[in-house]
């Protein structure tokens, strides 16, 4: 039992324990929800006008979150529009769930023209966590109606091998055909404002490039090309994998959420003998075929072995899918006991690959083979003559013995 006189000695320890517990709990809470600003409309916000923001709330923790509130923090020059609530109660947010909340706000007439900030956060068990987001305020009302679409996409190389790096090029185009339109007596801009554009990887493909932010305005009929670098992980099975492309726009520009396919194929270059080589021949002829579904570049056949080859290496260059090349090496063999090996080196996009393609075993000399064949054909005849001689000698001896006995 602890005496009252000793309680003061353990108070610091208890304080430290509860402090760590509180910090740990706060850390768990702080990491449980993720708040992001999706967009605001119009862009930029006009002073002394109403606008809306869309906020994403995602549960990134390991457990469901209940009794949480999501709050807009009124801060000059932004306030909640009359009749709206600054606090929203989404209820239980299950693990990995994401919801979107809309807040209708008002910008003060004396708002600073340029970049301002708003604050949005969430409260769990009395602990409030908030984030700041930039809001652009301008003098001109931008009520844009321009929309964008994915005009085309290319991947280089077209088909990746495990471990390869590729470039994904996405061309975004403003589909409007004129700069302004008139609706209900008002002029609307057909410019498209792009806030962010992100390509998101998956379990087998990593996106190396950073997202694009604040890309500016794309005029009617204009296009912009977005380049991303991706890398396929080693030992990735063959197949088609999809990357998520998310583009967020401003004003009345709707966001894009697309699936970008990436094909992975581990097939390679195949090599076979055009004809069986002989040691007394001075050449080897090979067939080299591209079994990949896409073209490869800088294909080179590299011979190795105890022989002199002409050429020392055979450069083929670009090979289209299913294309076959016949290559010939003149050679002078130094040691017939050693095999000759052929390797293939090539580029798939900007990725170098080298494979062991073929091992060739040389046959023996033709004159030796012929000699061996002649000797083997004479041996049975010699054996027959030997047997006949033995039999003849036996009968001669038998006759002599009978003659002596008579």
Q: Which residue has the higher pLDDT, 179 or 91?
A: 91
- Residue 233 C-beta-side C-alpha neighbours within 13 Å: 11
Q: Using an 8 Å Cβ cutoff, are 231 and 165 in contact?
A: yes
Q: For 205-260, write each residue's pLDDT tens digit.
A: 999 999 987 777 788 889 999 999 999 999 999 999 999 999 877 555 567 889 99
Q: Which of 155-164, 199-208, 217-226, 279-288 has the lowest mean pLDDT?
A: 279-288
Band (pLDDT 50/70/90 cuts) for residue 376 is very low
DSSP state letter for 194: E
According to DSSP, the β-strands at 186-189 and 180-183 are antiparallel
Which fold does the domain 148-264 belong to in CATH? Immunoglobulin-like (2.60.40)
Which fold does the domain 17-137 belong to in CATH? Immunoglobulin-like (2.60.40)
pLDDT of residue 51: 92
How far is 222 from 192, CA to CA, in rounded Å?
10
400 three-state secondary structure:
helix
pLDDT at 57 over 60: yes
Q: For 340-360, write each residue's pLDDT tens digit.
A: 889 999 999 999 999 988 888
Rg of the Cα atoms in the chain = 41
pLDDT of residue 397: 65
Q: Which residue has the higher pLDDT, 286 or 184?
A: 286
Mean pLDDT value across the chain: 81
Token pair for 263: 């094909």
Full-model pTM:
0.55
Of the candidate CATH numbers 3.20.20.10, 3.30.70.940, 2.60.40.10, 3.90.76.10, the domain formed by 269-360 belongs to 2.60.40.10
Q: What beta strand segments (E) does 219-306 contain?
A: 223-232, 239-249, 256-264, 269-273, 283-290, 296-304
How far is 268 from 300, CA to CA, in rounded Å?
13
pLDDT of residue 122: 92
% of the chain beyond a pLDDT of 90? 40
pLDDT of residue 361: 78
Residue 393 phi/psi, 5-degree rounding, is -60, -40
pLDDT of residue 113: 72
How far is 219 from 292, CA to CA, in rounded Å?
41
Q: Where in the chain is the domain with CATH 2.60.40.10?
A: 17-137, 148-264, 269-360
Q: Which of 49-63, 208-222, 285-299, 383-397 has the lowest mean pLDDT?
A: 383-397
Q: Which residue has the higher pLDDT, 69 or 17?
A: 69
How far is 339 from 358, CA to CA, in rounded Å?
10
Q: For 98-152, write each residue's pLDDT tens digit.
A: 889 999 999 988 887 777 889 999 998 889 998 999 888 875 544 555 678 899 9
How far is 199 from 197, CA to CA, in rounded Å?
7
Band (pLDDT 50/70/90 cuts) for residue 29 is very low
Cβ neighbours around 357 below 10 Å, total: 19
Q: Using an 8 Å Cβ cutoff, are 112 and 120 in contact?
A: no
pLDDT at 20 over 50: no
- Residue 131 C-beta-side C-alpha neighbours within 13 Å: 14
Cβ-based burial of 373 (10 A; exposed 0-12, middle 13-18, buried ≥19): exposed
pLDDT at 21 over 50: no
**What's the per-residue H, E or C state across 215-231?**
EEEECCCCEEEEEEEEE
> In 3D, which of 328, 304, 302, 301 has the Cα closest to residue 317?
301
pLDDT of residue 365: 45
pLDDT of residue 147: 75
Q: For 245-282, write each residue's pLDDT tens digit.
A: 998 775 555 678 899 999 999 999 999 888 766 655 67
pLDDT at 394 over 70: no
> In 3D, which of 75, 102, 106, 74 has the Cα closest to residue 88?
102
Question: How far are the Cα atoms of 65, 69, 137 from residue 28, in angstroms, in the given order?
Answer: 11, 16, 36
């Amino acid at each position: 039992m602890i005496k009252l006189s000793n309680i003061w000695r353990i108070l610091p320890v208890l304080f430290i324990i509860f402090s760590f517990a509180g910090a740990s709990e706060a850390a768990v809470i702080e990491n449980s929800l993720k708040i992001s600003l999706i967009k605001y409309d119009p862009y930029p916000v006009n002073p002394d006008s109403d606008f809306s923001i869309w906020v994403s709330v995602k549960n990134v923790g390991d457990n469901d979150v209940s009794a949480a509130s999501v709050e807009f923090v009124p801060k000059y020059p932004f306030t909640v529009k009359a009749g709206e609530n600054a606090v929203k109660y989404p209820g239980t947010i299950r693990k990995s769930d994401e919801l979107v909340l809309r807040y209708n706000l008002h910008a003060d007439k004396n708002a600073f023209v340029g970049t301002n900030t708003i604050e949005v956060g969430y409260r769990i068990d009395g602990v409030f966590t908030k984030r700041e987001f930039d809001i652009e305020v301008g003098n001109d009302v931008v009520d844009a109606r321009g929309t964008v679409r994915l005009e085309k996409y290319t991947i280089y190389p077209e088909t990746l091998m495990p471990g390869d790096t590729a470039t994904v090029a996405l061309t975004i185009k403003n589909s409007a055909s004129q700069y302004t339109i008139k609706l209900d007596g008002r002029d609307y801009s057909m410019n498209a404002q792009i806030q962010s554009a992100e390509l998101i990887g998956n379990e087998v493909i990593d996106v190396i490039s950073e997202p694009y932010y604040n890309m500016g305005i794309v005029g009617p009929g204009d296009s912009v090309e977005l380049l991303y670098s991706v890398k396929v992980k080693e030992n990735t099975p063959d197949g088609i994998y999809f990357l998520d492309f998310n583009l967020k726009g401003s004003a009345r520009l709707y966001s894009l959420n697309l699936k970008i396919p990436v094909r992975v194929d581990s097939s390679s270059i195949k090599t076979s003998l055009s004809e069986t080589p002989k040691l007394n021949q001075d050449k080897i002829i090979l067939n080299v075929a591209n079994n990949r579904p896409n073209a490869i570049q800088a294909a080179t056949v590299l011979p190795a072995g105890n022989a002199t080859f002409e050429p020392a290496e055979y450069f083929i260059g670009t090979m289209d899918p299913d294309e076959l090349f016949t290559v010939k090496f003149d050679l002078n063999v130094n040691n017939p006991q050693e095999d000759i090996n052929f390797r293939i080196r090539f580029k798939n996009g900007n990725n170098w690959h080298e494979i062991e393609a073929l091992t060739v075993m040389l046959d023996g000399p033709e004159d030796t083979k012929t000699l061996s064949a002649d000797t083997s054909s004479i041996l049975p005849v010699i054996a027959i003559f030997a047997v006949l001689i033995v039999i003849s000698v036996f009968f001669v001896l038998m006759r002599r013995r009978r003659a002596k006995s008579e």
